[in-house]
Every structure is written in structure tokens, then in C-alpha cells.
């Protein structure tokens, strides 16, 4: 593949533009993906933050659930932030009735895990995968990773040990939103995975 990877942002709902901007700034060709034919044209996919139950419903309405599951099973690199992490999880808690995920990441993710007490907050995270400086992480009605299956790498945790970023093979998920703070290193890791895939 050329040095300019062609990647998609799932554009059913959520902060699609923010991701598209970061990826374009990093030199990728970026497609907004709503249909199976558009998915077939890209070599990696970002699932944005937003509302996971809405993205789930729309993905089924647009005939995208099956193709995305197949692409994940075939090894397509996918990066999910917040709602996107929920959609990558094999198991979720506190979903709405009937809520489904694409799955692929062997983790259990709790939706709206900080609801009530602190819905949104910001903190600095040490992320060994990215080195210095720490990541300034913005959590917006964020999910938490409750359990991590064998082979899943914990990429970042809060000070109390709760897991907020994971990676397994070609899949990467963060509870927080690098795309809103100018943090580009997670997208760089994603694009490196796309180039290597």
C-alpha cells in the first residue's frame, strides 16, 4: 500500500468531522462511510464518539452491521472512541434494551460508567504505548472497561486502576476522545496498524 492509507470514519452519528480532520492532518485519505460499498473501499475504520445505541440502530438500518462484523473478523484495523469502544466490545452492560455491538474486542464495557456522580471530566493519563507527554483525556458520558480477555492489552488506566484504553490485534479502543483535544498519537497508532495490515 502507498504511504497514504485510505481509511473511513463511520458516519452514521457522532463526532465524525473531528476524526476525519485528525486523520486528514496525519496524511490519510479519509472517506465518510455509511454504506457497505464505501466500507469495501477503505483499509481501516474509525468509529466515533456519539451515542452507541443510535449508531447500533442506524448500522442495522443501513445494512452495515454484518459487513462491519465481517471486516473486523477479516482483520481490518478499527479504532473506536467512547461510543466506538462500546460498539467494539464483545460484551456490554447498561445498554438500552436490545442494544447490540459489532464486537471483536474481548472485553466487557460498561456504558455511561461515570453517570450520576461525574458525567464528564478531564484528566492526564500516562500511556506507555505513546510515551511522553501524558495524554490529556476528555471523558464525556464515558464507558469503562470492566473485564479484559486474554490477549487484550491494557493501554491506559485511571489512577485507581480502572481501564480506559485497550488494544487487541488490529483493534484499538479508548473511553475518551483524543479527537477533541488535538491529541493525534492514537490516530497515528491506528494508521500505523493500517499500513502494516
Q: Could you tell me which stretch among 20-28, 47-55, 66-74, 182-190 binds ligand GLN (CB under 6 A)?
A: 47-55
Residues 124-163 interacting with ligand GLN (rule: CB under 6 A): 140-141
Residue among 18, 179, 183, 187 flagged as catalytic: 179
Q: What is the DSSP string of 86-153?
A: HHHEEEEESPPTT------EEEEEETTTTTTT-SEEEEEE--TTT-SSPEEEEEES--EEEEE-TTPE
- In the complex with ligand GLN, the residue whose CB is nearer, 43 or 166, is 166
Q: Could you tell me which stretch among 22-30, 67-75, 79-87, 165-173 binds ligand GLN (CB under 6 A)?
A: 79-87
Residue 112 is a binding residue for ligand GLN (CB under 6 A): yes
Distances (CA, A) of 158 to 155, 166, 183: 11, 13, 18
Give yes or no: 38 in active site.
Answer: no
- 136 forms beta bridges with 124
- In the complex with ligand GLN, the residue whose CB is nearer, 76 or 139, is 139
87: phi then psi, degrees, rounded to nearest 5:
-70, -20
Residue among 82, 168, 183, 187 flagged as catalytic: 82
- In the complex with ligand GLN, the residue whose CB is nearer, 50 or 77, is 50
Residue 13 is a binding residue for ligand GLN (CB under 6 A): no
Residue 30 is a binding residue for ligand GLN (CB under 6 A): no
| Closest CA relative to residue 15, chosen from 40, 51, 49 | 49
Write down the residue that cell numbers 485497550 correspond to: 166
As annotated, the active-site residues are: 82, 177, 179
Amino acid at each position: 500500500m502507498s504511504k497514504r492509507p485510505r481509511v473511513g470514519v463511520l458516519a452514521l452519528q457522532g463526532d465524525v468531522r473531528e476524526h476525519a480532520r485528525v486523520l486528514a492532518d496525519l496524511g490519510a485519505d479519509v472517506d465518510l462511510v455509511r454504506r457497505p460499498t464505501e466500507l469495501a473501499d477503505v483499509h481501516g475504520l474509525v468509529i466515533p464518539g456519539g451515542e452507541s445505541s443510535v449508531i447500533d440502530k442506524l448500522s442495522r438500518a443501513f445494512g452495515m452491521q454484518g459487513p462491519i462484523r465481517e471486516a473486523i473478523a477479516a482483520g481490518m484495523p478499527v479504532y473506536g472512541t467512547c461510543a466506538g469502544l462500546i460498539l467494539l466490545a464483545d460484551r456490554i452492560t447498561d445498554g438500552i434494551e436490545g442494544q447490540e455491538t459489532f464486537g471483536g474486542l474481548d472485553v466487557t464495557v460498561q456504558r455511561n460508567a461515570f453517570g450520576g456522580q461525574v458525567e464528564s471530566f478531564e484528566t492526564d493519563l500516562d500511556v506507555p504505548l505513546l510515551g511522553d507527554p501524558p495524554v490529556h483525556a476528555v471523558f464525556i458520558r464515558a464507558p469503562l472497561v470492566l473485564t479484559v480477555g486474554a490477549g487484550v492489552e491494557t493501554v491506559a488506566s485511571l489512577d485507581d486502576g480502572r481501564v480506559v484504553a485497550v488494544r487487541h490485534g488490529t483493534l484499538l479502543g479508548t473511553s475518551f476522545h483524543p479527537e477533541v483535544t488535538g491529541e493525534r498519537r492514537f490516530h497515528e497508532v491506528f494508521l500505523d496498524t493500517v499500513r502494516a495490515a
